[in-house]
Structure 1
Amino acid sequence: MSGGKDRTLCLVAFDLGAENGRAVLGRFDGRRLELEEVYRFANEPVAASGRLYWDVLRLFLEIERGLVAARRAAGGPLQSLAIDTWGVSFALFDQKGELAGHPYHYRDRYVEGIMEKAFAVVPARTLFEWTGIQLMPINTLYLLLSMKLEQSAQLASARHLLMMPAALSYLLSGEMVDEFTIASTSQMVDPHTRTWSGKVLDAFGFPRDLFGSVLQPGTLVGRLTPEIAQELGVEPVPVALTAGHDTASAVVAVPAAPSEGTGRTWAFISSGTWSLVGLELSRPVISDAAFQGNLSNEGGAFGTFRFLKNVMGLWLLQECRRRWAREGADVSYDQLVREAAAAPPRRCFIDPDDPGFLRPGDLVSGIREFCARTGQPAPESRGEVARTILESLALKYRWVVEQLERAAGVAIDRIHVVGGGSRNELLCQLTADVTGRPVVAGPAEATAAGNLLVQAVALRELSGLEELRSVVRTSFRTRLYEPAAGGGWEDAYRRFLSAVMGEPVREKPGSL
């Protein structure tokens, strides 16, 4: 602890995912961090007039309620608060600083076909060279371009664009600043200057003055406004910039020890609604191999980059569960995992990132149709469908890990799984078995822990990433999953590559 002070800090992390949000109170004594979830709320998109929106004002109201709950649980003053959210989403504000309209959801159908229009302006390879970001239709760039081409009244009245955590922080503090890790998910940031790319903005005709300052995580930017503090009955709590992208906060809390220079490294899987599979690097990898693999160089905290690929995650299982609930079978996730564990292994696989799985709908039928289309037996029971999803995720993780190794020129000897998916014992064991690498699972609360400990850096209570991770290792337990010998996964992976990915089989790099 850099400050050497004998006191316990009370910090608040607001962690908002694509389905729910929560307020987490962190008590940090300089050596250990204790977490207490004090408030939870739903994050439900709203469909209206043919569009899909984020209910940002409801989220702001829930944050206010969460702040009151955190102050009550702390029993005393709060030292700081910070917000992290899912990536790519943004809000627009007019010249008075008021919301110009309801923010669009990244699954809004109006982004369909927009990537091709974007590449007619800037070729895909050039866009990757400028930003280093994976080409995905959900990226901020494409929704913003769609609004421009539609002559959106919301965009016409906008004077400020803020990524979602920055927008919510602004409503709390009145300070309009963005943060690097979340801004990088927009595909409009220059990875070398770590601020908005003038080349991208100019090429697509976005006014430069729509975009403000981009600061690094671990910065104090203001305080709760006097009006909000009075309304909520709390002190004017300092507002910090944490790693605003939830995955960036989660990676901060990976309990990896410092590298010993062995030439090998660890990969991370931030497992939740999405699975983000990647490496932590000191510089971006912008190469033909990275482009061909559609890999991404997203901003990380403390001078790092997250060299990764987005993989559709447990949203597949969540959406299937919703379908079964509508049919009258409202089963828990734990029950689905038990049914999956009892189902026959390695029968059929899907590509989790098939475009047909991107939007809400009947994914159960979609999975069966995918298997039939690729010449595989279709899963019938809930357990078979769930097992197909989990095995396919593990197989896709291996495929991405091997891409990362080739593009970055490293050997990956272990995988850290953090986030809610680290609690899924079957998925963790499948990941170890399929990849042939040990899996270290935990902490499940990595995003909240990372958010809170970056606040401690902003308050100068911690010196940086190495000291922060030492606190993580002291504070949270992990579980090791060793890969089981045999099991038929090499043959399964060959079938996955040929039938699902349409690729020739490659030899597994290295000898691990």
Structure 2
Amino acid sequence: MCSFHIVVDLGSSSGRVLVMDAAGGSTDEVHRFAHTAQEKNAQLVWDIDTLITEVVRGLGKANEFIGHQPATVGIDTWGVDYALLDEAGDRIGEVVCYRDERTTRTSAQADQALEQKKHFSLTGIQPDPITTARQLFAQGVEDGFDGATALLLLPDYVAYELTGEKGWSQAIVSTSALAAPGAGDWAWEVFDALNIPRHLVGEISPERSVVGPITYEGLNNLTVVRSGSHDTACAVHGLRLESTEAFISCGSWSLFGCVNSTPVLSDEAFSRGVTNEVCTDGKVRLLHNLTGLWIMQQCCRNFADSQRESDIATLAAKAATLDSPGVLIDTTDPIFTTPSDYASLIASKLEEHGYPTPDSPEAIVRVVTESLATTHAHALKNLEEVTGRTFTRLRMIGGGVRNTLLCQLTADYCQIPVVAGPQEGTAFGSALAQIETISDTPQNSTALEYSTVTYLPNTT
């Protein structure tokens, strides 16, 4: 029986390695590193080799921390991105970022090859340009698949690098728009319509199953298990949601949704942009994939480039002292998909509509924060209309819980209480799934606990 569980949590702007002591209920972050997509040979790609190096370094630190005792390791990442392998098991080319413009260039062709509503009916996933399916279609059109024998989604690729075991984990597969609703099997009709070779994938494995021992010297006491594979699946797993609770996993993306026993494939779900991704326990996360703090992160980079205040926590605190500007932006506008000078972009868009231009970083942050809160409220209404359910409480997790203004404004616009926390929701859910994988411990009987803060809606 392992008492330590290590979480490798890889987000699209940073990665970290944490140790959960199940006996003591404590969580310790032992390694953190920043990373970002970068331009290389006219593509936006991830520095995947450095990412793997940092993961191994973090696991070494974790192993020292636990005194080289036996432990499990769970790996989660953002969705949709992938690596291709050749016959020898070596990676082919770069790991291209989902924000690369190749999917925009080939979008019309993809729609002709497989109509969007049909794609949704086959997978339960909105066929957005960022999906793995649309990325692979673009790759086939522009580069081809010469020499490729396997396709691994990102958490499975990291697991492969650590263990030598290839796999296809259910939760991350469900984000790809390549699997049947619920991700029990692949949607082969999609492969054929988009000219994606079938031989690139293998059998889908359920979450809470064992991948294998790590083969790196000095890390042989560590065993990788599937503990959710997708960051939002991990985060939701730890919430123990009630039927009247919705959730927001708020980071670069705002993943707004609820848990359902089965996929929802209605015309209304498609038209309202609702998608079906899989939970760690096999249930379905009905959700909206919304642009989230990415806009604010990009604005802060713009502020830094012009030598202005750029610390997001400082700016959020200053923004909370400002009155509502009475001005909103559409955070779902495709213009916020690829990197740009968002601060200037937001200012110019406001000018176009006759509004005064925000004259300080905190004013722009206030506009973005309030706009995100209204987007959350719209998503809540959509979710209630699609499911026929009324949600009385909203659980908010992820980095966004540090922004108290966003939490309060979300409560105000949604007009239901927002329960914020844990900030480390992804790590908590991953550790919980690891415990369940090796011990069959019921979810509600573990010693793992966390604190939350409740924001009540203002009614004035």
1:20 aligns with 2:14: yes
Change (3 A) 1:198 1:467: farther
The answer to whether the aligner puts 1:56 opposite 2:35 as a matched pair is: no
Q: Distance in 2 between matches of 1:358 and 1:373?
A: 20
- 5+ residue gaps, structure 1: 1-6, 260-264, 487-512
2:190 pairs with 200, 220, 225, which one? 200
Q: Does 1:251 align with 2:245?
A: no
Residue 467 (structure 1) shift: 4.3
Residue 192 (structure 1) shift: 4.6
CA-CA distance at 1:100 after TM superposition: 1.0
1:449 aligns with 2:397: no
Encode CA deviations 1:106-139: one digit per residue, 9 max, x unaligned.
1112111433221111111111100111232111
In the alignment, is the contact (CA less than 8 A) between 1:71 and 1:78 conserved in 2? no
The match for 1:288 among 264, 267, 287 is 267
1:392 has 2:371 as partner: yes
In structure 1, what is the Cα distance between the partners aligned to 2:70 and 2:346? Answer: 47
Q: Is the aligned partner of 1:9 residue 2:3?
A: yes
1:9-88 aligned within 5 A: 9-29=3-23, 33-88=25-80
Aligned to 2:412: 433
Q: Aligned pair 1:222/2:222, yes or no?
A: no
Q: 1:211 to 1:28 in 2, by over 3 A?
A: same
Structure 1: distance between partners of 2:124 and 2:372:
24
What SS does the aligned partner of 1:190 have?
Answer: coil
Q: Decide whether aligned partners of structure 1 residues 372 and 330 sit closer, same or farther in structure 2, where only a CA change above 3 A counts.
A: closer
Separation of aligned partners in 1, 2:419 and 2:110: 40
* Residues 77-226 of structure 1 aligned to structure 2 (within 5 Å): 77-152=69-144, 155-192=145-182, 194-225=184-215
2: CA distance, partners of 1:460 / 1:118 = 45
What is the aligned partner in structure 2 of residue 458 from structure 1? Answer: 437
Aligned to 2:457: 483
The residue type paired with residue 159 of structure 1 is: T
Letter in 2 for 1:20: S
The whole-number CA distance in structure 1 between the counterparts of 2:221 and 2:148 is 29
Quote the offset at 1:239 in angstroms: 1.0
- Distance in 1 (CA, whole Å) between partners of 2:293 and 2:143 is 36
Aligned to 2:361: 382
2:222 counterpart of 1:241:
no
RMSD of aligned C-alpha atoms? 1.5
For residue 311 of structure 1, report the CA deviation from its aligned partner: 1.0
Task: Indicate if the aligned counterparts of 1:11 and 1:78 stay in contact, CA closer than 8 A.
Answer: no
State the SS of the aligned residue for 1:38.
strand
Counterpart amino acid of residue 72 in structure 2: S
d(CA) in 2 for partners of 1:78, 1:419: 29
1:176-212 deviation per Cα after TM superposition (whole angstroms, max 9, x unaligned): 0111111111111101552211111111121211111
Amino acid across the alignment from 2:97: H
Q: What whole-Å deviation, never above 9, does each CA across 1:202-243 have from its counterpart, x for those lacking one? A: 111212111112111100121112xx1x2xx23342110111
* Distance in structure 2 (CA, Å) of the matches to 1:477 and 1:250: 14
Q: Distance in 2 between matches of 1:359 and 1:131?
A: 25
Instruction: Give how far 1:376 is off.
Output: 3.6
Whole-angstrom distance in 1 between the partners of 2:258 and 2:409: 20
Query: Aligned letter for 1:235?
Result: N
In structure 2, what is the Cα distance between the partners aligned to 1:158 and 1:75? Answer: 40
Query: Hey, what's the Cα distance between the residues in 1 that align with 2:342 and 2:38?
Result: 20
Q: Does 1:414 align with 2:393?
A: yes
Identity of aligned residues (%): 35
Residue of 402, 413, 426 corresponding to 2:381 = 402
State the Cα deviation string for residues 352-372 of structure 1 (Å, max 9, x = none).
121111111100111122223
Q: Alpha-carbon deviation of 1:377?
A: 3.5
Aligned with 2:126: secondary structure? coil
How does the TM-score come out when normalised to structure 1? Answer: 0.87
- Aligned mates of 1:192, 1:90 — CA distance in 2: 20
TM-score by length of 2: 0.97
CA shift, 1:461, in A, is: 4.8
Q: Which runs of 5+ in 2 are unaligned?
A: none
**CA contact 2:300–2:310 (8 Å) conserved in 1:** yes
- The residue identity in structure 2 corresponding to 1:11 is H
| In 1: Cα distance, 2:308 partner to 2:66 partner | 40
Q: How many residues align?
A: 460
Contact persistence 1:141–1:186 (CA under 8 A): yes
Task: For residue 466 of structure 1, report the CA deviation from its aligned partner.
Answer: 4.4
Which amino acid in 2 is paired with 1:10? F
| Residues 188 and 201, structure 1, Cα contact 8 Å, conserved in 2 | yes
2:391 is paired with a residue whose SS is strand
Between the aligned partners of 1:271 and 1:192, the Cα distance in structure 2 is 23
Write the distance in 2 (CA, Å) between the matches of 1:425 and 1:255: 23
Q: CA separation in 1, counterparts of 2:79 and 2:182?
A: 20
